[in-house]
Amino acid sequence: MYEKKPWLKFYGHIPESINYPRVTMYEAVMKTVERCPEATAYDFFGYSSTYRQFSHDIDRCADALASLGMKKGDRITISMPTTPQGIICFYAANKLGAVAAMIHPLSTAKEIEFYLN
C-alpha cells in the first residue's frame, strides 16, 4: 500500500479515509444547525452568527436567487469567497442545485473573463 501512497506511513492511527455522508453541502450545514443551532457558525471581523441565523440567511439568499430564476444546474460565480455573504451565497446556490464557482476578488479582468468562459 505504501508504494502507491507513500504519505500513508506518516498517518499513524489516522484512517486513510472516512465515510462521508451522501448529502449536499447545504444538507450537511443543516444537520449542524439541527445539532447545535446556537453555536457560532462564523466570526468575521467582530460580527458573529449562530448556525440558526446562518441557516436563515442561506434560505433567504436562496429565495432571492430563485426569484431571479436560478435553478438546478445553473452556474454562478462568486467573487467574495472569504466573506459571510460569499459563503451564504455559496450554500444558497447549493440548496437550489446550482454550481457555484468561487474566484479571487482581486482577479484581473482577463482572469475573470477566462473563468467565466
37-60 pLDDT per residue, tens:
999 999 999 999 999 999 999 999
Q: What is the mean pLDDT of the chain?
A: 93
Domains in the chain, CATH or no CATH each: 22-116 (3.40.50.980)
What CA–CA distance (Å, rounded) separates 105 from 82? 9
- Predicted structure pTM score: 0.82
What CA–CA distance (Å, rounded) separates 36 from 109? 41
**Cβ–Cβ under 8 Å, residues 78 and 101:** yes
Using the structure block, give the residue that is written with the C-alpha cell 443551532.
37
Phi, psi at 99, each rounded to 5°: -105, 125
Distance from CA of residue 81 to its chain's centroid? 9
